[in-house]
Amino acid sequence: MPRIYLLSEHTACRIAAGEVIERPVSIVKELVENSLDAGANIINIAITGGGIEAIEVVDNGCGISQEDTPLAFQRHATSKIKSIADLNCINTLGFRGEALPSIAAVARLSIKTRVPENNMGYHMVIKGGQVLRKEPVGCPVGTLINVQDIFYNTPARRKHLKSKSTEGGLIADMVYKMALIRPQTRFIFSHNGREIFRSPGSGNTLDVLASVYDVRTANMMLAINNQEQDIKVEGYISKPELSRSTRQQITVAVNGRVVRSRSINNALIEAYRGKLTAARYPVAVLLIWLPPDKIDVNVHPAKMEVKLSNEEHLQLLITDAVRRALRETGLIPHPVKMP
């Protein structure tokens, strides 16, 4: 029998990082989710070279205290849950305490962070899991995280990255989706020093739709709303005159988290049956709210998929909400009642 070895923390962390941090967009997603969890209402995201060269996320959230900052880089260190029971009522985007240690395991990460109670902030630089610097620093309240040398110690992963423009495009799409589902937060996104996108943070999804697409698109949207007991579906869907050739412009959030869900997409598309030609899809922002105990977010390494209980019921609610909105535009005739 071969011998069994317990891997060192360092090795375990590098392996775990492979699941959470697949490409630059994974880093952006984790950092922005942390900013949202920290209560930020302004999040500035700047990438260089498609996010392969550098990623910086700056927020005006609650910051991390000096004593907690080193802890934030330890695996399974989180301020968001305390016990397994808390997993049933998660209302934060993070809870596994994996993102920061994973990013710091495969890149060079610099953090400057300050809590409102302190005059000074704290600065740490970590590369490949090794702390290179830690010192007090003057900085605004909130958190700045800068990531460089991404995948420098995992050449296989680096080799699998696509072109800068493809990786940058994936990041832009993620930022747009997060901005669309968090209209009260102002997102600013720049690439190679040039501002690409800015959402106003007005709280109005239509304003974000106008920033992501254009005013014409925002004007082609219909509001949807449906609620049954503790399940709520809201958001915006496009009139059938406006359609796209991919499902990419369908943004779905469950309890404030961007997710990919074939069944939710299908429920939406089903409602357009007969209204869109084959291989055309709507633009939509669907916000779904469920009691936290009806959803399991702990089924996917990057939490991009969630498990829903009673999925068919949710699908019916979505299809019904979308059909009603489309009917009100007069495009789908009211069902004719038999005399």
Residues of the shown chain interacting with Mg ion in the complex, contacts defined by CB under 5 A: 34, 94, 99
Q: Is 297 in the site for ligand ADP (CB under 6 A)?
A: no
* Helices (H) then strands (E): counts for the chain: 10, 15
Nearer to ligand ADP, 59 or 167 (CB): 59
Residue nearest to ligand ADP (CB): 94
Span between the terminal Cα atoms of the chain, in Å: 79
| Least Å from the CB of residue 11 to ligand ADP | 19
25 binds ligand ADP per the rule CB under 6 A? no
Distance CA 325, CA 258 (A): 23
Give me the least distance between CB of 73 and ligand ADP, in Å please.
8
Strand pairing class (54-59; 307-308): unpaired
Gap between the Cα atoms of 146 and 65, Å rounded? 18
- Go through 213-239 and write b for each residue having 16 or more CB atoms within 10 A of its CB, e for each that does not: beeebbebbbebebeeeebebbbbbbb
Q: What is the DSSP string of 228-243?
A: ETTEEEEEEEE-TTS-
Question: Interacting stretch for ligand ADP, rule CB under 6 A, among 3-11, 28-36, 218-226, 237-245?
Answer: 28-36
Please tell me whether residue 144 binds ligand ADP under the rule CB under 6 A: no
Which of Mg ion, ligand ADP, none does residue 64 bind (CB under 5 to 8 Å by kind)?
ligand ADP
Q: Which is nearer to ligand ADP, 100 or 218 (CB)?
A: 100
Instruction: Identify what 80 binds: ligand ADP, Mg ion, none; CB under 5 to 8 Å per kind.
Output: ligand ADP
CA distance 19 to 158: 14
- Per CB under 6 A, does 24 bind ligand ADP? no
| 176 is a contact residue toward ligand ADP (CB under 6 A) | no
Q: Mention every residue, 6+ apart, whose C-beta is less than 8 A from residue 235.
A: 205, 223, 224, 284, 285, 286, 287
> Of 34 and 146, which CB lies nearer to Mg ion in the complex structure?
34
Window 89-128: residues binding ligand ADP (CB under 6 A): 94-100
Helix or strand (DSSP H, E) at 319: helix 311-328
Q: Is residue 43 close enough to count as binding ligand ADP by CB under 6 A? A: no
Using the minimum distance from each CB to Mg ion, give the nearer residue, 94 or 235. 94
Nearer to Mg ion, 71 or 222 (CB): 71
**Residue from the set 24, 50, 51, 63 that interacts with ligand ADP by CB under 6 A:** 63
* Binding status of residue 61 toward ligand ADP by CB under 6 A: yes
Q: Pairing relation of β-strands 284-289 and 257-258? A: unpaired
Please tell me whether residue 62 binds ligand ADP under the rule CB under 6 A. yes
Helix (H) or strand (E) holding 136: strand 130-137
Shortest distance in whole angstroms from residue 256 CB to Mg ion = 14
Q: Does 185 bind ligand ADP (CB under 6 A)?
A: no
Q: Any contact of residue 59 with ligand ADP (CB under 6 A)?
A: yes
For position 72 contacting ligand ADP by CB under 6 A, the verdict is yes
The DSSP result for 137-186, as a single string, is E---SEEEEEEESTTTT-HHHHHT---HHHHHHHHHHHHHHHHHH-TTSE
- Overall residue count recorded for the chain in this entry: 339
Cβ contacts of 232 within 8 Å, gap of 6 or more: 226, 288, 289, 290
Binding at 96: pick from Mg ion, ligand ADP, none (beta carbon under 5-8 Å per type) = ligand ADP
Q: Is 336 helix (H, G, I), strand (E, B) or coil?
A: coil
Closest approach of ligand ADP to the CB of residue 201, in Å: 17
Minimum distance from residue 162 beta carbon to Mg ion (Å): 25
Interaction site with ligand ADP (CB under 6 A): 30, 34-35, 38, 59, 61-64, 72, 78-80, 94-100, 143
